[in-house]
Structure formats: structure tokens, C-alpha cells
Amino acid sequence: MKLYLLLILQLCISPLCESKQIAITFDDSPRKAEGYFSGPNRAERLIKELKSHEIEQVAFFSNSNKLNAEGIQRLQAYSRAGHIIANHTHNHPDFNKMSLDDYVQNFLLADSKLSQFKGFKKLFRFPFLREGNDNKKRDGMRDALKKHGYINAYITLNNYDWHIETMFQAAIEKGVSVDLERMRKFYVQVMMESIEYYDEMAQANLGRSPKHILLLHEMDISALYVGDLVDELRRKGWEIISPGEAYTDEIAQYQSRRIFPYNPGRIGEIARDRGQKKGLWHETLDKKYLEKRFSEEVLNRNLEN
Ligand SMILES: [Zn+2]
């Protein structure tokens, strides 16, 4: 018996016993809402889901051009619930198609408009994760972030949750009755596949599981299923941490010298720099692949034929 206990203790001081850590972030808030939920209902549901699943703090990367009365109310509600409001530019430009000067102005405009919120923090998330398609732009934005006291709020766990939302809303609009239980399973399954994939890539390249940052969007499926996703993560041994804590990981200091016109996320950058060329985007980051699975797993099309 004693030996058995000793063995467990030994295992628990090894990295095997440490839980994997993940912070949750939502982009594009206050994102368009006119499908399953109204904007205010989505915000209410999302806050409730986070609270009931004891997720103390997440970050909302927001676009300041959406700050009409309702948009302001939604961000205020997130802020009051203890969450972070952060900068995702004014109107979500593609840095590959915009000059450095215009991009910096866009970022600063968002800074001036978003700083009104109590939960505002100087974290910047690049739209489309595009950090500049030449050295001048990339280094120029790195300098601008530093000058204004910001950090680059990179992500480590990439996915196409926004396309799952598009398929979900399109089905509803067409009058298809979507089985919410199937939808829940599909969402959790697809998200877990991409999370585990990038964690394995991280472990292969870093020799450890870093403090991860999950990219989600402020959407109806997030409000519906983020709690289920968190339940599944915890069931598999993950711990939910705050975004602030996640950015203390040493990979936050990592700066690739490479130009990534299309950025797979921080783990993909590190893997690419170490020589990996294929598989930087997981198979679930593919519209056609997701459409096929949505059709089979949610709409059950394979059984109807
Ligand atoms: Zn975005």
C-alpha cells in the first residue's frame, strides 16, 4: 500500500500530473447577431454560461466600429461580469492589404474608443492573425505595440469556429430544424480535435504543453456551447486559466523572424521556424471538410439518402 502511494506521489511531481492549461478568448465582439439569438440575448447567455461553468475571466477582442448603443451595452455587460475588453482594431482590416501608417491609425482609434470600458486591457489581437506581410510592416507594428504599452495577444489554438457558426445560421435561415444536441456534439468534437492537435504540435516542438490561448468568436454557438466545451476540456484534464496568466508563458516572448502572410498561430510559427512545412493548419481548418462533416453529423444527410 505504502509503495503504491509513493508511486502516485512520484508521478504527481512529474510533468505527467500537471494539468494542461487553457485561456479562452472571443474575437470580433460585438459581432453581428440577428440569427438564433439577438445581440443582447447572446451576451446574456454567454455571461451566464461562463459564470455557471466557473470561468472567471475571458477576453473579448473588440472592434470599435461596432460600438452603437447596443454594442456598447454588450461590451459593458462583459466588462461588468469581470471579463477583459481588448483591442482588435477599429474595423477589422486585413494587414496584408493596408499600409503600416493606416494600420497603426486604425489600432489607435480602437484604443481611444475601447478604453472607456472598465475591463479594458492593452492586449492587441491582429485580425485574421496577420501580423504584416513584409519586414517593415511587421516590425513597425511590433514597435507601435511596444510604444503604446501593448502586448501582441497571439493565440495558440486555432480553429474555424466562425465557419461552424455560418453553417448553423444558414441552416436555421433555410428553415432546417437543427438538432441542438447533435450540434453540441459536433461543436465540442471538432473543437477538441483542433485543440489536441495544436497541443501535440506544441509538445513536439517545446517539449511541454504551454499555457494555451484558445481563439473563439463572440457568436451564438459560442454562447450555446462554450460551457460544454469547458466540461469536456476539464474531463480530459485541462484547467481553465485567465488570459493574463496565459500570456506569462515564455512563448509570449517568442518573435519569429519569418514573414507569415497567413499565420497559423504561435505554435504553428514555432513549428515552422523549426522546419515543419506541412500540417500547420489542422484539417478542421478547412471549409469543405467542415461542411461535409456538418452535413453528416448534424443534418444527418448520410442516413436520409
Ligand atoms: Zn477578428
129 CA to centre of ligand 1 in angstroms: 8
Give residue for cell 465540442.
Answer: 188
Ligand 1 center from residue 33 Cα (angstroms): 15
* Within-domain flag for 10: no
Instruction: Compute the distance from residue 92 Cα to the ligand 1 centre, in Å.
Output: 6
The string of DSSP letters for 48-96 reads HHHHHTT----EEEE-GGG-SHHHHHHHHHHHHTT-EEEE--SS---GG
Ligand 1 geometric centre to CA of 198 (Å): 20
Q: Examine residue 38 and state whether it is found in any structural domain, yes or no.
A: yes
Give the distance (Å) from ligand 1 centre to CA of residue 217: 8
Which pLDDT tens digit goes with each residue over 130-158?
Answer: 999 999 999 999 999 999 999 999 999 99
d(C-alpha 125, C-alpha 295), whole Å: 32
| Ligand 1 centroid to residue 1 C-alpha, Å | 54
Map residue 120 onto helix, strand or coil.
Answer: strand
Residue 44 and residue 224 in contact, taking contact as beta carbons nearer than 8 Å = no
Judge whether 4 lies within some domain: no
Ligand 1 center to 207 CA (angstroms): 30
pTM above 0.95, yes or no: no
**Residue 140 domain-assigned (yes or no):** yes
Asked, for residue 155, whether it belongs to a domain, the answer is: yes
How remote is the CA of residue 303 from the centroid of ligand 1, in Å?
36
The domain of 44 spans 20-304
Cα(295) to centroid(ligand 1), Å: 26
| 11 inside domain | no
Asked if residue 163 lies in contact with residue 290, where contact means CB atoms within 8 angstroms, the answer is yes
Can you give the CATH number for the domain in which 222 is found?
3.20.20.370
- Find the 281 Cα to ligand 1 centroid distance in Å: 17
Q: Is residue 206 part of a domain?
A: yes
Domain total for the chain?
A: 1
pLDDT in tens, the chain (305 residues): 455 555 555 555 555 557 899 999 999 999 999 899 999 999 999 999 999 999 999 999 999 999 999 999 999 999 999 999 999 999 999 999 999 999 999 999 999 999 999 999 999 999 999 999 999 999 999 999 999 999 999 999 999 999 999 999 999 999 998 999 999 999 999 999 999 999 999 999 999 999 999 999 999 999 999 999 999 999 999 999 999 999 999 999 999 999 999 999 999 999 999 999 999 999 999 999 999 999 999 998 765 54
Rounded to 5 degrees, what are φ and ψ at 241?
-120, 170
Identify whether 14 is part of a domain: no
